[in-house]
């Protein structure tokens, strides 16, 4: 009888452990939070240029995006994908400030796509 209870408890514990393994956020989900997903937008070059001017991107990256405090972005599309650029603008990186609170996700996505086409 005692043995039967013990194996019952053990079985429940194993089942709980398996359920937890699947319900707790895995590594993949955590990585996704670190890498925000870019919303899909239709690229609008004029709007992107306006954001880049108004948000002071050009004060660090140069009025022709030729680089200043920040790196040259004239051929950034050959190095980074739109998603990667989206992540950098959203979260910031090193001396690059985060624009998460200043711009809408769609605006960042538009600028990211515009920059990604610069090759």
- Alpha-carbon distance of 52 to 42, in angstroms, equals 17
In the complex, minimum distance from the CB of residue 64 to ligand HEC, in angstroms, rounded to a whole number: 14
Of 69, 72, 64, which Cα lies nearest the Cα of 97?
69
Contact, 97 vs 55, CB < 8 A? no
In the complex, minimum distance from the CB of residue 86 to ligand HEC, in angstroms, rounded to a whole number: 9
Task: Please give the residues from 33 up to 52 whose contact with ligand HEC meets the rule CB under 6 A.
Answer: 52
In the complex, minimum distance from the CB of residue 80 to ligand HEC, in angstroms, rounded to a whole number: 6
Tell me, residue by residue from 70 to 99, as one string, x for binding to ligand HEC by CB under 6 A and - for no binding.
xx-x--x--x-----x--xx---xxxxx-x
Q: 6: annotated binding-site residue?
A: no
Instruction: Tell me the CA distances in angstroms from 15 to 1, 3, 19, 21, 22, one per residue in order.
Output: 21, 18, 6, 10, 11
Under the binding rule (CB under 6 A), the answer on residue 56 touching ligand HEC is yes
DSSP 3-state of 39? coil
Helix (H) or strand (E) holding 50: helix 45-54
Q: 38: annotated binding-site residue?
A: no
Q: 96: annotated binding-site residue?
A: yes
Chain residues binding ligand HEC by CB under 6 A are: 52, 55-57, 59-61, 69-71, 73, 76, 79, 85, 88-89, 93-97, 99, 111, 115
């Amino acid at each position: 009888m005692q043995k039967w209870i013990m194996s019952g408890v053990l079985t429940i514990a194993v089942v709980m452990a398996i359920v937890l393994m699947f319900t707790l956020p895995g590594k993949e989900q955590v990585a996704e939070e670190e890498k925000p997903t870019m919303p899909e937008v239709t690229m609008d070059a004029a709007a992107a240029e306006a954001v880049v001017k108004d948000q002071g991107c050009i004060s660090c990256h140069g009025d022709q995006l030729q680089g200043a405090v920040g790196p040259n972005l004239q051929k950034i599309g050959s190095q980074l994908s739109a998603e990667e650029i989206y992540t950098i603008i959203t979260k910031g990186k090193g001396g690059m400030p985060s624009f998460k609170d200043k711009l809408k996700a769609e605006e960042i996505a538009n600028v990211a796509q515009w920059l990604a086409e610069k090759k």
